[in-house]
Amino acid sequence: MNCSAFKQVDVFTSERYKGNALAVILDADGLAEADMQRIAAWTNLSETTFVLTPSAPGADYRVRIFTPRSELPFAGHPSVGTAHALIEAGRIAASDHLIQECAAGLLPVRVVGEGSQRRVFVRAPRAQLHPPSESITAAVTRALSRPPGGSHPPRIVNNGPDWLVCDLGDEAAVRGLKPDMTALDRLSAETSSIGITVFGRAQGKDYQLVVRAFAPADGVPEDPVTGSANAAIGAYLLASGQLETIGTNYRVSQGREIGRDGYVDVCVGAHSGDVEIGGSSVTSIDGMLALP
C-alpha cells in the first residue's frame, strides 16, 4: 500500500481548531490529478495541498492546491500552511528566501521567528483589478440585500482566483451580514468569480479590518480565513487610495462568525504593488495517509 506523510494544519492561528484547516499531503509525486481531486473532496476542507518535487529552477518545493471541486492556481492559507508543514517535517529549512512553485508561478515565501512564534508570509501573484461597473454594483446589492457601505464600488480582483471585493464600511456591517448563499452562488456565476469577500474597518481593536469570504459556487459557503481574498483586498485598498488611514501593514480578523477567529497579517508595497499575507500555523493531525 502506498502512503504519504500527512498533516492537517490550522492556519492563521496559534490555537488548534481555530483559523482555517488545511490538509497537506507531503509525498504526492506519482499521484494522478484525478486522485488529488478525489482526496480533496474526501477531506472536505476548503483546500487540500499536494507537495511535489519542483520542476522550475530555483524552486524549493512545488504545490498543487485543490478545493473539494477544483484546482486553484493560488490560495493564501494553503501556501502559508504548506510551508509550515514542510518546515515542521524537516523537508525544507526556514528561510527569508524560500520559493514556492504553484500553478500561478514562482512565489517568494519568507519565515519570521521560530517554533510556536513562527509566522510564514507568501507574496501573492500581482493583482489585476477589473474596472468597476454599475452592473456589478447592482448584482452585489441584490445578493447582499444591501448596498455597499464604502465610498468605492465593488471590483473584481484577480490574483490567481477572481475575487469580487466589496467594502461594507464598518465592522458591524460585516459581522452582522446574513447572506443568501443561493444569491451568492448566482453572483459568482454572473461575475465569473470564485466568490465575494467583504470587509469593514475596526475601531480601537488590535486589528484594523474585519473580513468575511463566501465561495458557495466552489463548495465553500463561508471560508474561515482566506489568504487570497485578503491579498485581493490589500490590492483594492491600494488602488483606491485607502491605505493612508489603514496603513500598509495591517492585521485582519476573520472567521469569528463560524467559530474560527483567525488573524491575517497583510503587508502592501505602496510603490511595488506587491501584497504579502501571512500568519501563524499549528498542526492538529500528524500521521500517514493511504494513497489511491
d(CA 178, CA 250): 26
Distance spanning both ends of the chain, measured CA to CA: 9
Spatial neighbors of 227 by CB under 8 A, at least 6 apart, are: 11, 12, 75, 76, 77, 78, 79, 80, 122, 124, 264, 277
Q: Specify whether the CB–CB gap between 11 and 225 falls below 8 A.
A: yes
Q: If DSSP codes are grouped into helix, strand and coil, which group holds residue 32?
A: coil
Longest C-alpha distance within the chain, in Å?
58
* H/E element, 106: strand 105-112
Q: What does DSSP assign to residue 292?
A: -
Cite the active site residues.
Answer: 47
Amino acid residing at 262: G
Residue 260 main-chain phi, psi, to 5 deg: -105, -35
Q: What does DSSP assign to residue 258?
A: G
Beta bridge partners of 275: 268
The residue count for the chain: 292
d(CA 137, CA 244): 25
Beta bridge partners of 98: 109
- 121 is written with which cell numbers? 508570509
d(CA 145, CA 162): 22
Instruction: Using alpha carbons, select from 113, 130, 131, 150 the residue that is nearest to residue 279.
Output: 113
Q: If DSSP codes are grouped into helix, strand and coil, which group holds residue 129?
A: strand
